[in-house]
Amino acid sequence: MRRTCDFCFRMCSIEEGKRGVCGIRENRGDAVVTVNYGQVLAAAADPIEKKPLYHVRPGEKTLSAALFGCNYSCRFCQNHDLSQKDSPLFPAPWKRDQERTEPKQQVRRMQDCGVSVMSYTYSDPVVWQDFMLDTARLVKEADGINCMVTNGSFSPQSLKRVLPLIDAFNIDVKGDDEFYQRYCGATLKPVLDAVEKIAKERGRVMEITTMLIEGIHEIEDVYWLGRLLKDAGVQVWHLSRFFPHYHLGDHNPTSEVFLQQALDAAESCGIPYIYAGNSGNTKYAQTRCPECSHVIVSRRGYYVKIDRELQNHVLLGRCTNCGASIYGIY
Ligand code: SF4
């Protein structure tokens, strides 16, 4: 009997014994299962800035965890070894008996690292959300914070499941619909629907990342996306430089000059916090108060400086200069 997977916007109807588009959700007859549930391929304590998340406990570390899998086929994928079906790590049917990490072991790992923030990242946790949610439930019981770094292509049902347990999201918004179809084998609409929904959810933090590929993205695209994101209620937007990867290995990296033009365009759209990624641009690494421009958090690479007075205010989520509220979890 065919069964439907509702983990992402594709809502694959899967024949018995077969897998959906992502290649890791399989119809085993009585249910659709994640074939690599618990097969954690990467787990490392990273600066939270690396996700990037600039408005969640700045300066702290997070335990990053990833299983294999993604429902997109981005030609420029930065982590294709953990996500694309041509990777030797792809969980093929003949590789079933791999070591399995239970969610409680994953949480113990986080505690052993001395951190209280878990990030589901590197590949796309949308397609292994059962393992993510089982772990996230235990993280909450341990008074921790859950962060999801994702392409945001939820189904409405899966977003409803994820929202109560995930405190902070970094969502890639990659370009217009033509870009999604041409370079990612996907579509923009479900991502925008999720962005709008999360922006309205009380107590949730969302940061958007757009990786700009000079020669493919135009500055006009930045204006267009910026207006769209502003209307959706987005507060934080990271614009990052592309470096050659995977099937776009021959494409030139994005220049700092192009990135600066894009940052200027982004600022004019009215989103309060704009950041530069994969860049030496230190001005756009700082968190400034949107009311008085006072620097709340300064960053140099992954070195983050919050002085004692600032820290007290940041913990309260207030600007030290004018007292305005600062978006985020502190
Ligand atoms: S996660 Fe998405 S791509 Fe994978 S089987 Fe489910 S609906 Fe299909």
* Alpha carbon 144 to chain centroid, angstroms: 18
Residue 97 confidence (pLDDT): 62
Kindly tell me if the per-residue pLDDT of 117 is higher than 90.
yes
To test ligand 1's pocket by mutation, which of 4, 36, 73, 127 has the most ligand atoms within 8 angstroms of CB?
A: 127
Structural domains in the chain, sorted by start:
3-285 (3.20.20.70), 288-330 (no CATH)
To test ligand 1's pocket by mutation, which of 3, 71, 155, 184 has the most ligand atoms within 8 angstroms of CB?
A: 71
- 283-291 — which CB contacts under 8 Å span 24+ positions? 287/54, 287/55, 287/58, 287/326, 289/319, 289/321, 289/322, 289/324, 289/326, 290/324, 291/319, 291/322, 291/324
Residue identifier of the C-alpha nearest atom 4 of ligand 1: 22
Residue 126 confidence (pLDDT): 98
Q: What's the 24 CA to ligand 1 centre distance in angstroms?
A: 8
The position carrying tokens 């365009």 is 265
Tens-place pLDDT, residues 21-70: 999 999 999 999 999 999 999 888 999 999 999 999 998 999 999 999 99
Kindly tell me if the per-residue pLDDT of 317 is higher than 90.
no
Q: What's the 242 CA to ligand 1 centre distance in angstroms?
A: 27
Ligand 1 environment, Cβ below 6 A: 5, 7-8, 10-12, 20-22, 25, 71, 127
Q: What's the 37 CA to ligand 1 centre distance in angstroms?
A: 14
- 110-114 — which CB contacts under 8 Å span 24+ positions? 110/63, 110/139, 110/142, 110/144, 111/142, 113/45, 113/61, 113/63, 114/61
pTM recorded for the entire structure: 0.95
Kindly tell me if the per-residue pLDDT of 96 is higher than 70.
no
**How many other CB atoms sit within 10 Å of the CB of residue 94?**
6
Residue 235 confidence (pLDDT): 98
Which helix (H) or strand (E) segment holds residue 149: the answer is: strand 145-150
Q: What's the 209 CA to ligand 1 centre distance in angstroms?
A: 23
Q: What's the 104 CA to ligand 1 centre distance in angstroms?
A: 25
